[in-house]
Each structure stands twice: as structure tokens, then as C-alpha cells.
Structure 1
Amino acid sequence: MTITRRNALKLTGVVSATAALNGALLAEGTIAAMAAPALPFAVTTPVHVDQAALRVRDLKSMTAYYQGMLGLEIIEQHDVSGDRVVLGAGGSPLLHLVRSAEAAFETPGSAGLFHIAYLMPDRGDLARWLVHVAQRQFPITGFADHSVSEAVYLTDPEGNGVEVYWDRPHEMWTWEGEVVTMGTNALDVDDIVATTDINRDTYTKAPANLRIGHIHLRVGEIDKARAFYGDLIGLSSTRGTRDDSGFFSSGHYHHHLAFNTWQSAGAGMREETQTGLDWFSLEFAEKSDLLALKDKLKQASVSFTRAVDHIDILDPWGTNVRLTGL
């Protein structure tokens, strides 16, 4: 199938390419030629997001979606019970799909997952992927230039949010003290796909160094989320103190974790019997830092579960945060 840059957006469910592109402020022609690091900056920090798990009703169709849309490979499959598939890139596990066939769908007004954000190694990979989803006609729900990154948004078949993005080099980000400049501007999709062949799909699988760059959550109360992910877990705010959202990171990344109350203000505990985010993991580069956090949890009388290689702790709405690095 042959596509032009202008009809690429229409093939993915966007009504007007012109409307999506108007007002894009940043040209990227020179950045595209920059060499990507072996691993994205996001996963080289003292703490980073490693993996995530979703509870799903239709394991087969959800597996097919993430294989087809993002090009993830099956890392592990439980053939006997048929209740779990682990998907990843380059041999690294990223997404666990756990079958829960009788589960009710989690509602947008509840606490839970806003989106899982998959980080492309460079802009060329994002361009090839955009041509891929256009030709395969995977619906796209949004586009944004966030100043630090260029992002594309989708929704999987069971309603879970997905972001696919690449980061501009972190040396180019603008900081004022501990606040990074992030906007939500129109994305120049034409400029992105100009870096690749738009007439054929060359995106056959996810790049080996594709990773989860960040997790964005729906929460019931911003102050509680700040206290848990900031004061307790130890991540640092990168966007100041906002009433409706928070952005937190480690090692001066723009954000490894975000949360908002845009639809979920006042939400209570999540239902374990519903679909959605089962757990996500934060990996600590230094074992000593994780052990220090473990001691902090004990001193604060915060309950947690210790396994051989990780610690599980529930946030105020019942989302399981897996702390790894032991």
C-alpha cells in the first residue's frame, strides 16, 4: 500500500492532518541525524521504570495487538495454563499480559492506568513505526510535541492507554531549577515521516533497545500521590506543584512517573477483579538504595511484601509497585 505524508494520519483515524499539524513549533531535521545511545537516557538513571503487567480479558487478541502494533516479541508463554504472556524487545521483558477472562472492564473514572509509554531509541524508529501503524491502520487517538519529546497516543482493544514516543537529547531540555519545560503542542508528523520511506513498511519488529520510558497513572488525590511517590519512594518532582497532576523522576529525567485526577478525582481503592494495570516495576541501579528504601518502609510502618528479587508495595489506590534491583 502506498501512502503520502498527508494521508498517513487519516489512515490511522485522524480526520484532518492539517489540524493535527497546525502550530507545530520545532523542526527536527538536524536532530534526526544524531546517534542514539545504546540505551535511552531514561533507563540509565538511578531509578527507572522497567516492566508493567496488565490484567486482560482476551489474552489472544491483546497479545496480537501488541505484537502487531508495536512489534513486541513473545519472551515467555505459559502453554500449560495459558494464562500469561510476557512480551518484550531484544530479549528484554517489558509487558506482562495476565488473563482474567471474567474481569469487568476498569472505568476511566477509577484510579489506575492512564497510559504506558514506550520509548523509541531515536526519531527514525518513531518515523518507521508511524508508517507501520498507518499502513496497518491501527487507530491513533492523539499526537503531541512535548518540547522534551514527540509523542503519539493510542488505546489498546481493552481500553488501556498507550504512548509511543522518542526523547530529544536531554542536553537540549530546558530546566529552570528543578522544573523542566514541557509543552503540549501540535506534532509535525510530516517532518517526522520525511526521514523514512513512506511507501513501504520497514518496521518489522520493535527495536532491540525499545523500553518503557514512563508510566502515567490516574489517582484520586494529588497530595496523596505526591506523598507516596515523592516523599516515600523518593522520586523528585520535575513540574512543580500542580493541583491536578504530578510529574516525578530520578536522575533529572523529564518524568518516569506521572499521575493526574483529570477524570478520577476522589477515586477510591481499585478493584482487583477488574482489568487494567496489575503492577509496574521501578528498578534501582544500586542495591544499597533499594535496601535503604526497604528500611525506610519499615521505619514508617508501611507494609510491603518481600520476594527473592523484589519488593511489592501498594500505592494509596491499590496499584502494586514492584521495586526491583535486589
Structure 2
Amino acid sequence: MSEMPFAATTPVSVARVGLKARDAEALAKFYSDAVGLEELSRDGGAILLGAGGRPLLDIEADPAAKPDDPRSAGLFHTAFLLPSRADLARWVRHAFENRIPVSGASDHLVSEALYLNDPEGNGIEIYADRPRDAWSWNGSSIEMATQRLDIDGLIAAIPAGDAGWRGAPENSVVGHVHLRVGDPVAAEDWWREEFGFDTVARYGADAVFLSSGGYHHHIGANRWQSAGAGMRDPGRAGLSWIEMRSAEAQSEKAVRDPWGTVIRVVPDKV
């Protein structure tokens, strides 16, 4: 069995994400077929999905919800971190064989990643981290980039005679969440004050990346499409909440970021 990814072992990490869906059944099927999550339970209109028994995604049915607005504050993508590079390669082959539309593929130096969108427009990243000793730091800033992904080299990581993709493997986690915000500076200040996160990278004035415990990022926040966005409209589909796991939390609580997104906090039980 693979080890738990470093992203999930830091003092604060992402536990799971909640989405509000206009068609929860269709969305759950997509995350099962395309991403490889398994259904763990149902409770009324909510469908809980995960990997290896670990809850990762809660899809809440709201047929009356308005479609998400990509210019508003909300979800840029949920990033599912696979335990190994070979796992990512298996997923890539699965995507090719099943004609799963992929919107991007990037080498970020610290990780290799592919991007897609679910049927309701929520962004998804499927990625695997490079070993931590291969990451480059300049003081407290980590070196990240967006370069062409070597798909052929990635596929070559699949061992000969491998059984192939069998769904998201045990110890798959939500490695990070990337948010659309109205102001990255306000987002940076909030995450630093509320969770003690460190700022590890900035992309000019438009995006910031923050983390706990030396990870490359648990939270990204950008204004690429959403500059100046105000409070979120609770009547829209899309991001409902993010659940963070904290080693310092003694009990569960919920806070809201400057755009009204609910951030749940639960004690660390890894």
C-alpha cells in the first residue's frame, strides 16, 4: 500500500470539498467514471464520494440552483492528489481510452497535473507530486511553473504488465483547492490569519499560493476571471464548502472567507 501523501500530513490540510449540484446524480456518475471516486454513502439529497473509504467529495442536490458564474468568487478547481506518479500515468491512460475531455496538462516542477471540468463547470485537477527533495525553494518561496507535460514520459512510468486504472487508489486525497476570489491580497491575509498559512508563491498581483507545514500549496487564490468579485450568491451551484483538517482544532467549527465561502474545520484524525 502506498504512503499517505505529504500534503495530508501537515498541521493543516484539506479534508474534503462540498459541491452544490443542479443534477447530483449526473455529477456523482462523472466523478465515479472520470475521476475514479467510489460512492460511500447517501443522506437525503447528498452523495458522499471518496477513495479507499476516505471521504473526499460531498455532492449536495439543489435542482433549483442557478448555474455557477465563473466571474464570481468560488471554485477554480478541486485538486485530487494521487499517491504516485504511476497512479497518475494510469489515470492518463484511462482518460485517453475512455475519451475523457482534458482541458490542460502541465508540469509545475513540484508536480505533474492534468485538468478537466465536470458537467456543471467545476474545475478538476488530477495530479501527482514530485518527491519533496526535488522541490526548489528560494527562502520561503517555492519554485513553481507551468510547462508542457511530458505525456509520453509519464505513460512510461506504468510498470510492464500493470493491471491499469482501477479507480482512485487508497490514500488518494484532496491535495489542494484553488479558489476564484475578488482580491488575492485579501485572501492571503485571511488564510494567514485564520489558519496560520505561509505564503509560498505569488503570480504577480493576480494569484497567491499558501500552505501549511512546507507543502507547495494547500490553497490557491486567483482573480484571473473574478477581479473585484463580491459575496457569493448562495443560490448558485458550485462550491458549497471546504473542509480543513487541523491538528490544533479541538472541536468542529465553521468560518467564512471574505466572499462568504464556508470553511469547515475538523480535528486531525489522519
After TM superposition, list the pairs within 5 Å mapping 1:206-285 onto structure 2. Answer: 206-240=168-202, 242-285=204-247
Unpaired runs of 5+ residues, structure 2, are none
Partner of 1:97: 59
SS at match of 1:290: coil
Q: Tell me if the contact between 1:148 and 1:254 (Cα under 8 Å) persists in the aligned partners.
A: yes
Which residue of 1 is the match for residue 41 of structure 2?
Answer: 76
Alpha-carbon distance between aligned partners in 1 of 2:203 and 2:75, rounded to the nearest angstrom: 21
* Paired letter, 1:325: P
The 2-side partners of 1:277 and 1:226 are apart by 19
Partner residue of 2:99 out of 120, 134, 137: 137
Identical aligned pairs, as a percentage? 42
User: For the Cα contact (< 8 Å) 2:10–2:212, is it kept in 1?
Assistant: yes
- For structure 1, the 5+ residue unaligned runs are 1-35, 292-308
1:311 aligns with 2:270: no
The answer as to whether partners of 2:2 and 2:170 remain within 8 angstroms in 1 is no
CA distance in 1, matches of 2:54, 2:101: 26
Whole-angstrom distance in 1 between the partners of 2:234 and 2:63: 13
- Alpha carbons of structure 1 residues 198 and 136: separation in structure 2 relative to 1, 3 Å: farther
Q: 2:249 aligns with which of 290, 293, 318?
A: 290
The SS at the match of 2:186 is: helix
Partner SS state of residue 214, structure 2: coil
Which residue pairs with 2:131 in the alignment?
A: 169
Instruction: Find the counterpart in structure 2 of residue 160 from structure 1.
Output: 122
CA 1:200 to 1:159, structure 2 compared with 1: closer, same or farther past 3 Å? farther
Q: 3-state DSSP class of the match of 2:119?
A: coil
- How many angstroms does 1:173 deviate by? 0.5
Shift of 1:59: 1.0
Q: 1:107 to 1:200 in 2, by over 3 A?
A: farther
String of CA shifts for 1:111-140, please: whole Å, max 9, x gaps: 000000000100100011111111111100
1:29-40 equivalence runs, <5 A: 38-40=3-5
**Structure 1 residue matching 2:227: 3-state secondary structure:** coil
Give the Cα–Cα distance (whole angstroms) in 1 for the partners of residues 170 and 241 of structure 2. 23
Count of residue pairs the alignment pairs up = 268
1:126 to 73, 79, 88: 88
Aligned-partner Cα distance in 1 for 2:213–2:149: 27
How far apart are the structure 2 equivalents of 1:123 and 1:52? 23
SS of the equivalent of 2:59 reads strand
Richer in helix (by share): 1
Partner of 1:21: none
2:17 paired residue number? 52
- Counterpart residue number, 2:158: 196
Q: Is the 8 A contact 1:132 1:201 kept in 2?
A: no
2:258 is the counterpart of 1:324: no
Larger strand share, 1 or 2: 2
Give distance in 1, aligned partners of 2:32 and 2:202.
Answer: 37
1:18-48: CA deviations, max 9, x gaps? xxxxxxxxxxxxxxxxxx9510010111110
CA distance in structure 1 between the aligned counterparts of 2:202 and 2:223, rounded to whole angstroms:
16
Shift of 1:234: 1.2
- Report SS of the residue matched to 1:238: strand
Q: Work out whether residues 131 and 198 of structure 1, in 8 Å CA contact, stay in contact via their aligned partners in 2.
A: no
Amino acid at match of 1:68: D
CA contact (8 A) 2:104 2:115 kept: yes
Instruction: Report the structure number with the largest CA radius of gyration.
Output: 1
TM-score by length of 2: 0.95
Using the TM superposition, give the Cα deviation of residue 233 of structure 1 relative to its aligned residue in structure 2, in angstroms: 2.3
RMSD: 1.8
Distance in 1 of aligned mates of 2:202 and 2:179: 17
Instruction: Name the residue aligned to 1:63.
Output: 28
Tell me the secondary structure at the aligned position of residue 249 of structure 2: helix
Contact in 1 for aligned 2:83/2:172 (Cα 8 Å): yes
What is the TM-score with the length of structure 1 in the denominator? 0.79
Residues 314, 320 of structure 1: 8 Å contact kept: yes
Residue number among 145, 157, 180 corresponding to 1:183 in the alignment? 145
Residue 61 of structure 2 aligns with an amino acid whose one-letter code is R
Amino acid at match of 1:120: L
Deviates more, 1:117-126 or 1:229-238: 229-238
